[in-house]
Amino acid sequence: MAKAIAASFLVLMLAFPTVFGVDYDVGDSNGWASQVDYTTWVSGKTFHVGDNLVFKYDSSHEVDEVNESGYSSCSSSNLIKNHNDGNSKIALSATGNRYFICPRAGHCAGGMKLQINVVAANSTTPTTPSTPSTPSSPPSESGTPSTTNSTSPPSTNGAVGVSGSIGLLAAASAVVLGFMG
C-alpha cells in the first residue's frame, strides 16, 4: 500500500511542471505601456500551453486580442476579446499564434502590440516574434508618456519559478524513491 501511495505521489510530482504554468509579466517592470519594445521583450521566451500573460497597465491603455490581420493593420474590427481592468491575466490554453494590441489611437502604430507563439507544454521550441512596422511619425498621446530606464537591471519574469519547481520536483522524487526502496 505504501508503495502505491509513493508511486502515485511520484506521478503527481512529475506532472507538476505541466500543471502549473509560468506567469509572464508583459513588458516586465514597464508593463503594457507606450515606448516599450515588445519584440525585444518576447525574444528568447518560449510560451507554453498552461502559461499566462499578465498585462499591467494604467487607464490610458487597454488590451485587445485580435487576429493576425488586426495585428498587422492595428485594427480591432475583428476583436477576439477586450481587456480593460488594468491587470489582465490571459491564459494560454492552446497552441498557435496569439496577437494583442492597444486599441487607443496611435498606440499600436507606435509599437504597442505583441505577437507570441504558444507551443505544447512539453515543447522547447523558441518563440519567433514578428517584426512590427516602424511608424512614419510618432503618435501623439494625451496621456502621460511612459519612460524606460535603460540603466536598471533586467527584471526577472515568471520563468524563474520553473527552475524552483524543478528543484522541488527533484527533492520530492528523492523522498519518494527513499520510501520505495
pLDDT digits (tens, 9 = 90+) for 76-109: 999 999 999 999 999 999 999 999 999 999 999 9
Report the alpha-carbon angle 65-71-76, nearest 5.
Answer: 55
In this prediction, residue 142 carries a pLDDT of 41
The percentage of the chain sitting over the pLDDT mark of 90, rounded to a whole number, equals 55
* Cell numbers representing residue 172 in the block: 520530492
Q: Does domain 21-137 have CATH number 1.10.760.10?
A: no
* CA-based radius of gyration for the chain: 20
Global pTM reads 0.62
Residues of the chain with pLDDT under 50: 10, 17-18, 125-166, 168
